[in-house]
Structure formats: structure tokens, C-alpha cells
Chains A and B, each alone.
Chain A
Amino acid sequence: MKYYTYFPGCSCSEGGAKAYGRSAQAVSKVLDTELAELDDWNCCGSTPYTSVDELSSFCLSARNLALAEKRGLDLVTPCSSCYVILNRTNSYLKEYPQVKANVDEALAAGGLEYHGTVRVRHLLDVFVNDIGYDTIRSKVKRNLGGLKVAPYYGCQVVRPKFGFDHPEAPQSLDKLIASLGGEPVPFPLKSRCCGGALIISEEALALELIGKLLDSALSNGAECLATVCPLCQTNLDAYQRRVNQKFKTNFNLPVLFFTQLMGVAFGLSGEDLGLKTCIVPAERVLAKYI
């Protein structure tokens, strides 16, 4: 059994990516891994807070890190944005004494202190590096033989440099898909941006980026995409119809969380994995395996 402290982030707890959180927990159980949710965590602040008030954004992360430090375990998150923001705070606290002094003073106002010992991990990193491809392969009950999957990493799981994988040509998700029996298709845009939160304020430019990603996946023969980030999933899935309207395209590509794909291969029920929450229905391509 392996033990971690779990930071779901807003999207994967009560938000639009509940299915990611639920499937992450279901799959972890199969892999003898405990993800115990951090008590009373707060939002990491994500990019928006970093862009309006940097010190407060470090403090939002630091409260979570201070709470996690009491348990003494690695802090694991399935969200690429939480992953970058929490890691960024850790490295700024180490690198810049004046940031640390100010953050310490703010934390003290809440009766907390943080000593910088928490390691922040992405769930993908934990699955492929702590648990490993062989163990994952050994749990497969329904081999995803022949399923062509575009492995979509997005940006923040591999960049800037907190990474466990190459910042531009990552392989870990490709190998994980292969260990489930699926076929990772070549996907040149695998670590390009989906538009992130700018889908809200600058929809036109985000739709263009999403359209390019879908086109690259489809033209390489993918039947679906696997993602490791709640925002990437939402942009590619919920806005696929907007892309089709805007560019007169006919994309119909299901976008799954990588944990959902693992769950299908492990023989878990569609309900445990929240498969019905996909806007572009996933049942069509998964019918053979469910």
C-alpha cells in the first residue's frame, strides 16, 4: 500500500471535472494506493490570482502546503494548474528570501508555518513512476487492444521545469496507454496549449488552438484523446461543438481523463468512472471494452 495526501483542486472536487476526481480515486484503489484528501484545503489561486496579486497567490498555496506538511507525505494533485502553482510557490520560497519572509509573516497571521518540505506531485507522475507500468499492466482485465488514443499532456504537467518528463516531447502518458493495451498515436501537438482560462475572456483565440489540437489528433488516426488536466478536458470536450460551429468542422472526438481510460481497462464500472459526464459521448468508442 502506498500513501499520499491528495489535493483535488476546485475542478476535480465539486467542479466540472468531478469525474476526474472520482475515477482517480477508483483507479488508485485498484493500485493499492491511498489518496487521502487534505483537510480544509483552499483554491490554489491558479493563473488568475498569480496575475493580479502575486504575494497573495503564494500565500494561498502556502496555506495548503503548511497543512499538508503536518502529514509528512507527498502532496498529489490530478490538476496540472494546481501542480504548477503549488510547485512554483515551493521553488519561490526556496529561491527568494524576501518572498519567504513575507509569506511566513502572512501565514503566522493564520497561526501556520511552513518549512518547505512538501513534495508536490502530479497524479500521472505517481502512477507511472511510483507504481509503474508493470503493476498497471498487471491490473488490466480488459485489454484496450487496438484503441487509438491521442495522448494529450497540455502544458503545465511538463512545463516549466518541475517535470518528471520531457518539456516538449513527453512520453509517460504514451507508455501508460500502451501498458493498458491501447495504441498511442503520434500526436505532434501533445504538449501544446488548449487556451486555458482564456476560453472565458478570449474565446475566439482559444477555439482556434482547440481546433488545431483536435485536427492534429484526428489526422493521426485517434479515436479519442486522453488528458491529464481538468481544464484541457473541459476546453476540448465542452467547446468541441463551438469549434465545429466556428470552423465548419465535424469533430466528434471523445476526450477522456487518463484515469477513466485506466478504469475501463481495469474493468471498473462506467458509473465509478463518470463516463456519462463526457459531453462528446465516449460510449461509442469504448463499447467494445465496457
Chain B
Amino acid sequence: MEKRPRADTFVDEISAIPGGEGIRLCIQCGTCTASCPNADRMDHTPAQLIAMVRADMREEVLSSNAMWYCLSCYLCTVRCPRGIKQTDLMHALECLSVRQGLSSGRTRTPAMYRSFSNFVYSLGSLPEFGFMAWFYLLTNPLRAFRMIPVALSLLRRGRLSIKARRLTPEGTNQLRAILDKAESLGGVA
């Protein structure tokens, strides 16, 4: 598929991403911010983030920690009086910030999401225990130590599988071919 020319402004770029087109409709009513369970942790609230995109504050937006606090609870999305897909917009900003190497270092969520995705890419399914152990050891070994009681309680109740579920060899190859092709196509927009 032909690549579209690079947009002039940040808001053009976001509008061209599927799910991001609603950004021009925002009336800054703040319903998304008021609905968000995590707005108080964000360096910019969801409504501010939209205003900043429209003010062409590219770098500030993409290096913000705000979208990484999105829980995908979709409360903002169902309440927005303008029908903006606010949660999807957050995901679009996350992807863009990852692609451009700007993702915030003030939260561990980007690293956690990357570990998760790497496991899924390699195995086609998510071994919960392996993923969590890997992530904790990678980012915060002390936290790994503190998680031992939780891990043990899960283990005792038969809820920690060490072994990962595997796809058939054909399935693994097929999935890999699909994901590699997707990667070569470089993004949704």
C-alpha cells in the first residue's frame, strides 16, 4: 500500500490514524478527564493532551506519561459528547511514542507492554509466570522479591504454570509470517 505523505501538523498526523480522526471535534468539556480513574497521576490530563496535540506540541505529547496511565476502561469513550474514541486515541499516541523512541521513562508501563508483546510475538501465547518474572527481574529485582508471597499463593492454588502453551509448528510459522509482514507494512496509517 502506498504511504501517505507526512502530515504538516501534529493534529493532521493524528487525524490520519484510524481512531484518531475525532480529535478535531473536541470541545474541551473535560468529561474524559473527570471520568478517568487515573487522571490525577498523569502529567497532562486526557483533555489537555488533546489540546496539546492541536497546539502542535508534538514532543511534549509523545514523551508524556499520560497515555501510559490509561487503563483501557473506556469510560471516557462512552461518555464523550462528541463521540471521540478517546481510549483508542491514547493507544495511537502510545504506538507513535514507541515508534519514535519517546516513550516516558517515568512509568514502567511501556517496558511492561514491550515485554508482554515480545513474549506473544515469540510464542504466540502469553506464559503469565514467565512474563511477570522476566519483567520484574528486568525492571525492579527488589519488586520481584516482594512479589514472592503473591507468586507462592498462586502456585499453591495451582494457578502458576511454568510451561507455556505452544501453538503447532505450522501455526507458529503462520503467525510469524503474518506478524513479520505486518511489521514490514509499518503501522496502521
A interface residues (Cβ-Cβ under 8 A, vs B): 10-11, 13-19, 40, 42-43, 45-56, 58-60, 62-63, 84, 92, 95-96, 98-99, 101-103, 105-112, 155-156, 159-161, 167-168, 192-193, 195-198, 200-203, 205, 209, 238-239, 241-242, 276-279
B154 CB within 8 Å of chain A:
yes
CB distance from B75 to the nearest CB of A (A): 7
Cβ contacts under 8 Å, B102 to chain A: none
CB contact between B108 and one of A13, A50, A202 (< 8 Å): that residue: A202
Whole-angstrom CA separation of A15 from B73 in the bound complex: 23
Is the beta-carbon distance between B125 and A43 smaller than 8 angstroms? yes
Whole-angstrom CA separation of A56 from B160 in the bound complex: 28
Whole-angstrom CA separation of A275 from B128 in the bound complex: 21
CB contact between A205 and one of B38, B75, B113, B180 (< 8 Å): that residue: B38
Interface readout for B145-166 with A: 1 if CB under 8 Å, 0 if not?
0000110011001111101110
- What residue in chain B is nearest A17 (Cβ atoms)? B159
Is the beta-carbon distance between A98 and B128 smaller than 8 angstroms? no
CB contact between A92 and one of B18, B72, B112 (< 8 Å): that residue: B18
Cβ contacts under 8 Å, A96 to chain B: 18, 188
Interface readout for B106-149 with A: 1 if CB under 8 Å, 0 if not?
01111111101100110011111000100100000001000001
Whole-angstrom CA separation of A115 from B87 in the bound complex: 26
Is the beta-carbon distance between A42 and B167 smaller than 8 angstroms? yes
Is the beta-carbon distance between A48 and B73 smaller than 8 angstroms? no
Is the beta-carbon distance between B159 and A160 smaller than 8 angstroms? no
Q: A99-B188, A276-B157 are in contact. Are A54 and B95 (CB under 8 A)?
A: yes
Whole-angstrom CA separation of A101 from B87 in the bound complex: 23
CB contact between B37 and one of A168, A192, A279 (< 8 Å): that residue: A192
Is the beta-carbon distance between A52 and B109 smaller than 8 angstroms? no
CB distance from B63 to the nearest CB of A (A): 15
Is the beta-carbon distance between B92 and A14 smaller than 8 angstroms? no
B179 CB within 8 Å of chain A:
yes
Cβ contacts under 8 Å, A11 to chain B: 128
Whole-angstrom CA separation of A96 from B181 in the bound complex: 19
- Sample 26 A-B pairs with CB under 8 A, ordered by A number: A18-B159, A18-B161, A40-B171, A43-B120, A49-B113, A51-B91, A51-B113, A54-B92, A54-B95, A55-B186, A55-B187, A55-B188, A58-B182, A84-B72, A98-B189, A99-B188, A105-B185, A108-B181, A109-B177, A111-B174, A159-B78, A161-B78, A192-B37, A200-B112, A205-B69, A277-B157
- What residue in chain A is nearest B88 (Cβ atoms)? A88
Whole-angstrom CA separation of A198 from B109 in the bound complex: 7
CB contact between A10 and one of B1, B112, B126, B174 (< 8 Å): that residue: B126
Is the beta-carbon distance between A159 and B178 smaller than 8 angstroms? no
User: Nearest 8 pairs between A and B by C-beta?
Assistant: A159-B74, A109-B181, A48-B116, A48-B113, A193-B73, A40-B171, A155-B73, A201-B112
Q: Which of B150, B153, B159 has the most CB of A within 10 A?
A: B159
Cβ contacts under 8 Å, B164 to chain A: 14
CB distance from B134 to the nearest CB of A (A): 11
Is the beta-carbon distance between A16 and B160 smaller than 8 angstroms? yes
B interface residues (Cβ-Cβ under 8 A, vs A): 1, 18-19, 37-38, 41, 67-69, 71-75, 77-78, 85, 87, 91-92, 94-95, 98, 107-114, 116-117, 120-121, 124-128, 132, 135, 143, 149-150, 153-154, 157-161, 163-165, 167-168, 170-171, 174-175, 177-183, 185-189
Secondary structure at chain A's binding surface: helix, strand, loop or mixed? helix
CB distance from A144 to the nearest CB of B (A): 23
Q: A48-B112, A105-B185 are in contact. Are A196 and B120 (CB under 8 A)?
A: no
CB distance from B181 to the nearest CB of A (A): 4
- 10 more contacts with CB within 8 A, not counting A58-B182, A96-B18, A155-B74, are A15-B128, A43-B126, A47-B113, A48-B116, A96-B188, A155-B73, A160-B78, A193-B75, A205-B38, A241-B153
Q: A13-B165, A110-B178, A161-B78 are in contact. Are A102 and B1 (CB under 8 A)?
A: yes
Whole-angstrom CA separation of A198 from B41 in the bound complex: 13
CB distance from B151 to the nearest CB of A (A): 9
Whole-angstrom CA separation of A11 from B37 in the bound complex: 25
